Structure 1
Amino acid sequence: MEHLEQRQKIIIMLAIMAAMLFAALNQTIVGTALPVIVADIGGMDYFSWVFTIYMLTTSITAILVGKLSDTYGRKPFILVGIGIFIIGSFMCGTSTNIYQLIIYRGFQGFGGGMIMSTAFTAVGDLFPPRERGRWQGLLSSVFGLASVFGPTMGGYIVDVWQWNWVFWIFLPFGIVAFAMIWKLFPNVTTDEKASVDFVGAVLLSSAIIPLLLAFSWAGKTYAWDSVTIIGLFTWSVIALVLFITVERKAKNPIIPLKLFKNSIFTISNVGGLLMGMGMFGAIMYMPFFIQGVLGISATKTGFVMMSMMLSMVTTSTIGGQLVTKTGRYKIFAIVGLLTMGAGMYSMSTMTIDTTLTGAVINLVIVGLGLGLTFPVLTLAVQNAVEHKYLGVATSASQFFRQVGGTIGVSVMGAIMNVVMANKMEEMMASSGGATANLGNLQAMEDPQVLMDPDKVAQVKESVPPEAVPMFEQVIASMREILSTALSGSFLFGTFILGGAFLIIIFLKEIPLRMTNETPESKVETPLESSKASS
């Protein structure tokens, strides 16, 4: 497909970007609207499953479709993915209870996984590695734009219209993208159709699902040392061992294990996993600081978080252009990780005296580094493998980043909760019963309640007038506790990004190929990989 006319390539890329924007917006817009949705249809106890089921089905589909698209072409999967996502989006808007919404979101996730997996891979079909940098950067910027506008639009829609339109408003994007790809996207398949590795697919799913569930539930729904969490981890390990055993003998493995002998593939994916831990940690827990410590409203917090995403969009676009122009990519990953690490460390030093401007500057620094690093690691993987492995290599890169994000959010959350619990015990012990006149203080025994200004106001109203000064002192102490807890989480993220930096230092940079048809000898082989020095 790299021999198509440039005009046709650009039109196809616009269609792919429309499909990705459609999927990404549907994902980011739900977060803001979900409280209103749950208030209408009920099911607060199953609130988290709306996100969890989507994450599971997306992750599983992306990794499986990567290999299948290498054999049967990208076009069928991206079309089916868009179709499933359109149907799933429409059905989500018709939900009358939380159970229907969870089922429809899971169905929607199958389509989202197909779209995300084939979209980044299609760039590799359309353009040789030397030209992919600018397009990978533009695709990455789509995620940033969705993260910028999605939450704000979600809040606006539920305030002005009915919540159903959160799922319906972007359906035209999907329909237009489907029509464009159907008409313009040529399908390229391999000459030989090997059998599908169904056993490997089942075992891989059996390893991934309990792993993601364990990290999603640990420290929240269940304790880390609970039978449920330990059982899920054990199940995942056993399934992984069986998967490796089967894949070694499979004629057409769902993930060729020999790819891990390629140093660039392995180092890039490990670096991507660690980067995902830091990236998603910043995205998830910085709002806790902005709302809980600084006392900024949820609506304004969305605008503050825009600074991180806009800086990411800027550097991912500029960085992609520079990669294409210079043919170099490792330096951008190194500079990006250093910048992210500096921003994360600066976050760990924030206190209750930090200004909103200071928080925004830290977000911008993290975003600048993220934009430089995000597209480079996928490009490095694509450039290091034979074209016949393009789909599975690209989907593996996305999968490792997703797993990293799940692990990072869980571990950083655990650190935050442990520190908060210890500090709260110290505060209660030091008060010596002086807080007895504060009335409903038990309602605020968790500093995370600071994220809900209405609840804080309700508790304050129940406090006797003479105890209001002490109540405000307790609130200030709780803000300080939350700030200290978040500092520990961000410091962990700093060390993780430092680890990613050290790993990427050993990434071997090979010239970006000028064509997808370069002979295998021009690509790093497992034997060359074992001899390569960084």
Structure 2
Amino acid sequence: MDHLTQKQKVTVMIALMAAMFFAAINQTIVSSAMPRIVALLGGMEYYSWVMTIFMLTSTIATVLVGKLSDIYGRKPFLLGGIIIFMLGCFLTGLSTDIFQMIFYRAIQGIGAGILMSTTVTAVGDLFAPRERAKWTGIMMSIFGFSSILGPTLGGVMIDHMAWKWLFWGFLPLGIVAFLMIWFMFPKAKRVSSESIDYWGSLVLSASIISLLLGFSWAGNKYAWGSPEIIGLFAAAVIGILILIMIERKAKSPVLPLSLFKNSIVTISFAVGFLMNAGMLGAMIYLPFFVQGVEGLTPTQSGFVNIPMSIAMIVLSALTGRWISKSGKYKRFGLIGIAFMIISMIMLANMNSVALAVVSMAVFGVGLGLSMSVFTLTVQNALPPSQLGVATATSTLFRNLGGTIGVTLLGSVMTSTMTRNMEKAMTSGSAVDLSQLDPETAGKLTQLLDPKLLLNQPLLEELQTTLPDQAQSLFAQMLDMLRSVLSDSLSTVFIVGAVLVALGLLLTFFLKEIPLRSSNEKTPNPSEEQTVNKLKKSTVQ
């Protein structure tokens, strides 16, 4: 798209930002309201599927559309992604039971995967890596803004109107985004020499489904050593081996193995995987501390994340400008990941809501500095013809990191909490229930699960049923549970920090090549010398 003027490119970017915001706000607005929506529909035991199915379909769509958009251009997939996402949103609002919602959320996930991946890739079509950094930072800021607005707006809407409007409220924005893309985004010619890798796409999809389901269900729905989990992991391994054989012979592979011969690309994929795996310790388990240990409400807990989102918005925009101006990006990745590690160490030692807020603000600084860097490195190290598949594969590794990280940290949380609970019950500070009557003792025994601290209404209801002589023991038991939960969370945050630290270590080995100042396949002479040296070192 180098033939476009700067004014035309900015106009197209406005259309892309509208599409990005439409996809992002529709994902974040339901985050705080989904538990209540599922409770109203019934079938709370299937709640995890509402989230899992969206993740599965969006991840698969992201990978498959990457190569297809390299062949057919981005515009058809931007338009198609908006239509599918709007359809999924509309149908989800019509759900009358949990199974309909799960099916319609799958459609939503397909649209989201297409739209989010193609939007980021399209920025690469418009701008060379040097200028792309600035616009990528702005796009990340839009996502950060939606993460502030979405949960808060969703909480207000679910309290004051029918839940379907959470899915229908922003549909007009989708229509606007569709029209803007239709009229503003230029159409690209199909690469006629390229063919579609059907077998590779099928095997890749099956492998991703097996892997994600295995990690999603392990230690939760099924035991780690159960036949179901072992079978899913075995199917994923076999699928990957078959995929490698297919991609070696494919004329136009959906996942080119040549990507992994480039050290910059491989390291960037690995860093993205580790960052997402570790950072979810802060994102997922912070509410456990704020609500469980400190006793805040879910709404108040959401406010704790606002400083993080604001810091991320500001730093994402500034980092993009700094990278565009200097042409240097590695330093921002290093500094950003270092901030994330510091934040997670702070989280492991926090003892107040104020410290949690400060820790998340530091975390937001780290995210803002580093979030877009490792997509930029991949795009800069490969020719424009591979832009779509490279961006999609980068997203795939981030999604896999997030899924595996949630499972790993969840297992750490469960095992550590069980161990800490056993120690607390056998220590000298254990609560003695022998002096109570069997009925009252039985009620207090229900409190032996620290996760109950997250259900404040249930605790308040239980407290009202206890006799006066049991109130002091109830308070002691709550203190013990808060101590157990706090210590367990500290371990989770430390493990998350270790994962992110591995990403920092790998970043030191990332070779920094000049950001191209054009989208031509051949860089300028000075850049070409650097790239050639890199290629030689990679082959060696």
Shift of residue 259, structure 1, vs aligned partner: 1.0
Paired residues of 1:258 and 1:526 also in contact (CA < 8 A): no
1:531 corresponds to: 537
1:138 corresponds to: 138
Q: Which moved more, 1:56-65 or 1:341-350?
A: 341-350
Residue identity opposite 1:383 in structure 2: N
Q: TM-score normalised to the size of structure 1?
A: 0.96
1:113 corresponds to: 113
1:24-423 equivalent positions in 2, closer than 5 A: 24-350=24-350, 354-423=351-420
1:7-18 equivalent positions in 2, closer than 5 A: 7-18=7-18
1:434 corresponds to: 433
Equivalent of residue 520 in structure 2, options 505, 517, 521: 517
1:472 corresponds to: 475
Aligned length, in residue pairs: 530
1:450 aligns with 2:447: no
Shift of residue 526, structure 1, vs aligned partner: 9.3
Looking at structure 2, the residues matched to 195 and 343 of structure 1 have their Cα atoms a distance apart, in angstroms, of 47
Residue identity opposite 1:531 in structure 2: S
Going from structure 1 to structure 2, the CA distance change for 1:526 and 1:115 (only over 3 Å counts) comes to farther
Looking at structure 2, the residues matched to 339 and 51 of structure 1 have their Cα atoms a distance apart, in angstroms, of 29
- CA deviation vs aligned residue, 1:167-202 (integer Å, no higher than 9, x gap): 011111111000000001012234424221010001
Corresponding residue SS for 1:130? helix
- CA deviation vs aligned residue, 1:237-270 (integer Å, no higher than 9, x gap): 0100100111001111001101110111101110
Q: Which moved more, 1:58-67 or 1:404-413?
A: 404-413
Shift of residue 29, structure 1, vs aligned partner: 1.7
Identify unmatched segments of 5+ residues in structure 1. Answer: none
Going from structure 1 to structure 2, the CA distance change for 1:309 and 1:393 (only over 3 Å counts) comes to same
Corresponding residue SS for 1:48? helix
Looking at structure 2, the residues matched to 441 and 54 of structure 1 have their Cα atoms a distance apart, in angstroms, of 39
Looking at structure 1, the residues matched to 16 and 362 of structure 2 have their Cα atoms a distance apart, in angstroms, of 29
Residue identity opposite 1:392 in structure 2: V
Looking at structure 2, the residues matched to 258 and 273 of structure 1 have their Cα atoms a distance apart, in angstroms, of 19
- CA deviation vs aligned residue, 1:2-42 (integer Å, no higher than 9, x gap): 33122221222122111111111211222211122122211
Looking at structure 2, the residues matched to 144 and 25 of structure 1 have their Cα atoms a distance apart, in angstroms, of 10
Going from structure 1 to structure 2, the CA distance change for 1:323 and 1:525 (only over 3 Å counts) comes to closer
Paired residues of 2:513 and 2:531 also in contact (CA < 8 A): no
Corresponding residue SS for 1:357? helix
Aligned alpha-carbon RMSD (Å):
1.7
Looking at structure 2, the residues matched to 187 and 99 of structure 1 have their Cα atoms a distance apart, in angstroms, of 39
Going from structure 1 to structure 2, the CA distance change for 1:432 and 1:165 (only over 3 Å counts) comes to closer
Corresponding residue SS for 2:292? helix
Shift of residue 146, structure 1, vs aligned partner: 1.7
Q: TM-score normalised to the size of structure 2?
A: 0.95
Looking at structure 1, the residues matched to 400 and 240 of structure 2 have their Cα atoms a distance apart, in angstroms, of 15
Going from structure 1 to structure 2, the CA distance change for 1:438 and 1:530 (only over 3 Å counts) comes to farther
Identify unmatched segments of 5+ residues in structure 2. Answer: none
Paired residues of 1:264 and 1:529 also in contact (CA < 8 A): no
Looking at structure 2, the residues matched to 189 and 376 of structure 1 have their Cα atoms a distance apart, in angstroms, of 29
- CA deviation vs aligned residue, 1:250-296 (integer Å, no higher than 9, x gap): 11100110111011110111001001112222111111111111111
- CA deviation vs aligned residue, 1:104-133 (integer Å, no higher than 9, x gap): 000111110110110010001000111011
- CA deviation vs aligned residue, 1:383-423 (integer Å, no higher than 9, x gap): 00000000000111111111111111111111111111112
Equivalent of residue 494 in structure 1, options 491, 494, 497: 497
Paired residues of 1:276 and 1:405 also in contact (CA < 8 A): yes
Shift of residue 426, structure 1, vs aligned partner: 2.6
Looking at structure 2, the residues matched to 407 and 530 of structure 1 have their Cα atoms a distance apart, in angstroms, of 34
Corresponding residue SS for 2:186? coil
Residue identity opposite 1:482 in structure 2: L
Looking at structure 2, the residues matched to 56 and 482 of structure 1 have their Cα atoms a distance apart, in angstroms, of 31
Shift of residue 525, structure 1, vs aligned partner: 6.8
Corresponding residue SS for 1:440? helix
Shift of residue 527, structure 1, vs aligned partner: 8.4
Looking at structure 2, the residues matched to 509 and 457 of structure 1 have their Cα atoms a distance apart, in angstroms, of 57
Corresponding residue SS for 1:95? coil
**Identity over the aligned pairs, expressed in percent?**
47
- CA deviation vs aligned residue, 1:127-180 (integer Å, no higher than 9, x gap): 011101111111112221121111111111110111000101111111100000
Residue identity opposite 1:490 in structure 2: F
Looking at structure 2, the residues matched to 501 and 333 of structure 1 have their Cα atoms a distance apart, in angstroms, of 8
Looking at structure 2, the residues matched to 263 and 190 of structure 1 have their Cα atoms a distance apart, in angstroms, of 30
Corresponding residue SS for 2:187? coil
Corresponding residue SS for 2:510? coil
